[in-house]
Structures are given as structure tokens and as C-alpha cells.
Amino acid sequence: ALKDIFHFKNETVTMGSKINGNYKPEEDATVVKLLKDAGAIFTGKLNMHEYACGGTTNNEHYGACRNPWNMDKIPGGSSGGSAAAVSAHLTFGSLGTDTAGSIRIPSAACGTVGLKPTYGLVSKHGCFPLAWSLDHVGPIAKTVEDAAILLDAIVGFDPEDPNSVQSTERNYYDSLNPDIKGKIIGIEEEFYFNFVDQSIVDTVRSSIQKMEELGAKVEIIKMPHLKYAPFAEFTTFVSEAGVIHKKNIQTRPDDFGSDVKMLMKASHVISAGEYIEAQQIRQLIKEDFEKAFKQVDFMIAPTLPMTTPDIGAKFTMINGVERSVDEDIIRLTCPANLTGLPAISVPCGLVNDLPVGLQIIGKAFAEKEILNAAYALEQVVSFNQTPAGI
């Protein structure tokens, strides 16, 4: 079952919206074609944040999606239905889209594995866009093995996608190997471990220690421009989304949900200079990562800085300080979107009976590297994947 953003020929695809509530595309999305060719059986379409423009899946048109671990909690977003359905054993796997973290955020909240591949590795043709330069398509699954199987099915160059890239990498499932002896884990503390709930920090650091026991080494690195990532992410995605939805913002503003309407209107006040500044910051962050990957094999960080918020909550507490849910929920995931680097969220434990996600970020096209690291962690972290009552 897929997020309701992928085109299915002659079937209703809503994008979680009222405006496109009766839209029926004339062809399948490329990834839908590829999954059909691989023998996938589709059982339904899954709830999402409207137009993928949010991290909670509080959808004003179709109802809030709920977290199987606690029905009062959000499942994350924007691919909240995908992670919730996998977590609740309603589907063996799903695909999501990720513009600021929308595969990894719900995977962390729902205890699933979510992989955002390298930009351009998986075709976006037939997937309604949020922000062209930030959008990615990737798998959400129960295990690292399942995520690798799904990735094998959907990678490949697509001439219909102008951002699609040629890559000879294949056989992600066959290449899985939990041996990480000698691998160097990069830890960036000033951004990725700052303003993060202490219980999440402790859980992630415990998992890193387990990886050290498997023979990996840890190196502390400095990435001075990461602190500007939230500004660059917000400015880029809101500006690009504003162009995509320009006509409807002008002619049907009240048909957007209130939160998405506010973001779309914000696109009108971002200047060209601010957008250019955001792209300059992106380049500096890319250079930070390039420098870091000369020292380390991959990086590890929490996926979410907060424990899973309640449905409808605008604010959350992080170590006694009130923080905005909408702003903070994408804070640790957005750098991988700005850079286009592959990143995976894998469950690493529970806090308050809710899953915690650990994020592994790799070099461009190093999906095998981060899948193997996640696979190694999966072998040593005890995690009951079944929510209570399911």
C-alpha cells in the first residue's frame, strides 16, 4: 500500500488534498510500474499530510492519521499513513516521499525502517511534487532486509525524470552484511545532539556503543554550517512549493487546510535574495559533509529531537524547554535533503513505550554502506516491532 501521492492510472489520487480530491492520472508513476513488474500486489492507498507539506499527518480533509503505538500520538509525516500501516501489519511495505524528512520522521515515530535514497537514484515521475530540488522517493518497511528488497525494485534511470541519475548500483539485498568492524562512525554533537530530548540521546548513544562493540570506531566531527540548515530548508521548500501551487493559492486559498494555507502564503514573502542565500548555505553544508566523509564512513544521529507529540499539539517539551512541533520535527532530518545524501532511520529502542529512531547518513550513492550499518544495528538492538494491542 502506497502513500496517496503516487499516480495510479485511472484511479483517484488525492495527494491528501481537497483541491485534487477527484484527480485521476492517465498513467502509473514510474515506481508503481516497477513495483507491478516486480509482482507487488497493492491493497490500498495511505493517508498523508496534505500535499506532503507537514510532519504530523494531521490532515484536515481526511482526518488525522494515528500512531499504532499510541492512538493519541501522531505517526509523523508527511508519509504518516505509510509508516503507520507498516507498523500495524496492514502492509508488508510501502513507499513514501521525503522533502524534509517525510520518510524518516514517520519511521522513527512508528518503529519502522525508512530509507531516503540519494537524490535522483529513484524516479519521481508520477509523484506529485512538493519542492523539486528536495523531493526524494524511498521505501518504508518492517526491517532493513525488506527496505533493501523494495529499493532493489525501484532504482533505475528514468528519462521521464529530469533529475534521474545513471547508477550501476544494484543488489542491495544480496549485499547486506552486518560486519562493520573497522568502520568509522561520525558524530556531530553541536547540531545533531543539541536541543534533543535526553532520553532519546541516551537511547541513541547506547546503540552507538553497541556498534562500537561490533568493532566500529567513533570520531567526533565539526560541521559549522549545519546550524543554518533549518533556514535553508524552510526557505527552499516553501519557495518551490509556492511556485507549484501558485494558481490555487490565488484562486482557491480556502480549499487548503489551515496549516498548509499558511505555508503557501508564506511563499509570497520570501525574496529572491533569501532563496539565493539558502542555496549558498546548501553549498556550504554540502562542503561540510564532503569534508566529514574524508574522515568517517557514515554519520549517526537521532532522527527526531523530541518524543512523539500528541495529535494536534503545536508545542512540545524538550528537556524542559517549550519548542515548536512543526519547526523541530524536521530539524535533524533536513540536512540530508539539502545535500541529497542517503539517510536511513532504523528503530533503536523505546522511550515511554514509543519507538526511537536512529538516523544513519552516508556519502552519495552509499546506500549499501548505510543499509549494512542499519542491518548491523538491527542484529544487536532488541526491539519488539509489534505495538501493544496489535
The vertex-198 CA angle with 195 and 202, nearest 5°, equals 125
Cell of 208: 552507538
| Catalytic residue selected from 79, 82, 87, 102 | 102
User: Of the listed 17, 73, 78, 207, which one is catalytic?
Assistant: 78
Active site residue 79: no
Would you say how long the chain is, in residues? 390
Determine contact, residues 360/170, Cβ cutoff 8 Å: no
In angstroms, the CA 310 to CA 174 distance is 39
At position 382, the amino acid (one-letter code) is S
The secondary structure of 235-300 as a DSSP string is HHHHHHHHHHTHHHHHH-GGGS-HHHHHHHHHGGG--HHHHHHHHHHHHHHHHHHHHHTTT-SEEE
CA 373-345-217 angle, 5° bins:
35
Known active-site residue 3 = yes
Catalytic residue (choose from 3, 33, 45, 261): 3
Cα–Cα distance measured from residue 116 to residue 79, given in angstroms and rounded to the nearest whole number? 12
Task: Please report which helix (H) or strand (E) contains residue 217, including its range.
Answer: strand 217-220
Whether residue 45 lies in the annotated active site: no
Active site residues: 3, 78, 102
